[in-house]
Amino acid sequence: MPPQLSDPTDALSSVPAAGSRRAVPVVGHLRFYYGPMDCGKSTLALQVDHNQARQGRKGLVLVHHDRSGKPQITSRIGITRQAMEVHGEVDLRELVRGRWAEGQRVDYVIVDEAQFLTPAQVDQLAELSDDVQVDVYCFGIATDFRSRLFPGSRRLFELADDLEPVQVDVLCWCGLPARFNARVADGVVIRAGDTVLVADTDRELPDSTPTTTVRYQVLCRRHFRVGDLGPAVAGRGQLSLA
The catalytic residue positions are 113
Sequence-separated (6 or more) residues with CB below 8 Å from residue 132 = 28, 96
Name the pairing type of β-strands 72-74 and 80-82: antiparallel
Q: What span, in angstroms and rounded, lies between the C-alpha atoms of 39 and 45?
A: 12
Phi, psi of 59 (to 5 degrees): -140, 170
Compute how many other C-beta atoms are within 10 angstroms of the C-beta atom of residue 55: 7
